[in-house]
Amino acid sequence: MSTAPIFRRVALIGFGLIGGSIARAARAEGLASEIVTTARSEKTRARVAELGIVDRVLESNAEAVQDADLVILCIPVGACGPVAQEIAPFLKAGAIVSDVGSVKGAIVREMAPHLPQGVHFVPAHPVAGTEHSGPDSGFAELFINRWCILTPPDGTDPAAVEALRAFWAALGARVEIMTPDHHDLVLAITSHLPHLIAYTIVGTADELAQVTSSEVIKFSAGGFRDFTRIAASDPTMWRDVFLNNKEAVLEMLGTFNEDLSKLTRAIRRNDGEALFEHFTRTRAIRRGIVEIGQDSAAPDFGRPHPPLKKAE
């Protein structure tokens, strides 16, 4: 243990990619004296017990949150309201309740009304993930150098916000605070719209008559494969994101469609200058992302390139 525990007992509701990564990192860093987890399916609970990362694996959310200082819902956005209602009577006075959902306005609307006075509600969104899910998919390094956005409602106890900030910082994240509505706009363009577009184009490729699926898969290195990774993300999670951040996503989609029409028109009219100008501008944005360390400049994202001499 490398750090003094920030919380005595942490309860994680759900042990998927995010819950499992929090558990692994919190354990590695000694951030909690005890970590309790729940999982809905018996199979997952058996696997979590086997992994030996947490102190207790329970079926009952109500039981898990009892006496917990920090409760984090690590479940799809659509499930957060009902779970808040379920655990509310069992929360300890002074406990911090948080989540990891990719949408924040809806989380506040769905969860806040159920939570009792004397409990501190600090919604959170770690902007990190992979396309994998399930109890084995997490890893302790997932949050390092990634942002975690906290969206505490007006009037939240600053000490609770600070404790959760310290927890996420100890997991390796850089923490930022903003309003739920602004969060939802920022994520609509940086995450939700990209996922929607990726889901669309991967579906389009799957339905073509002139090009077979096996050709699409074979020649995917030309660009398509970069879309398939995000289009392989958890379907339940993403269904909930789109249903719960509908207005912001539809707004961004409107702007995207206008811009796509503009480029389409340039192609149709052979306007090489307009295309060149646009493509030059987007290159600069990429440089910004690499410079602040949110991606690797290594060729091909550092995908493995086997040596030229292969053993036959």
In whole angstroms, give the CA distance from residue 96 to residue 295.
32
Nearer to a copy of itself, 36 or 173 (CB): 173
> With contact defined as beta carbons under 8 Å apart, do 107 and 180 qualify?
yes
Checking 46-51 for CB contacts under 8 A at 24+ apart, the result is 47/135, 47/136, 48/15, 48/20, 48/135, 51/135, 51/136
Nearer to a copy of itself, 62 or 242 (CB): 242
Q: Which residues contact 222 (CB under 8 A, 6 or more apart)?
A: none
Nearest approach in angstroms of CB 229 to a copy of itself is 7
Nearest approach in angstroms of CB 266 to a copy of itself is 8
How many beta carbons lie within 10 A of that of residue 30, not counting itself? 14
Nearest approach in angstroms of CB 75 to a copy of itself is 16
Nearer to a copy of itself, 159 or 211 (CB): 211
Nearest approach in angstroms of CB 285 to a copy of itself is 5
In whole angstroms, give the CA distance from residue 12 to residue 126.
15
Nearer to a copy of itself, 71 or 148 (CB): 148
> With contact defined as beta carbons under 8 Å apart, do 124 and 99 qualify?
yes
Nearest approach in angstroms of CB 189 to a copy of itself is 5
Nearest approach in angstroms of CB 110 to a copy of itself is 15
In whole angstroms, give the CA distance from residue 187 to residue 104.
10
> With contact defined as beta carbons under 8 Å apart, do 184 and 248 qualify?
yes
How many beta carbons lie within 10 A of that of residue 62, not counting itself? 14
Nearer to a copy of itself, 31 or 95 (CB): 31
Nearer to a copy of itself, 91 or 127 (CB): 127
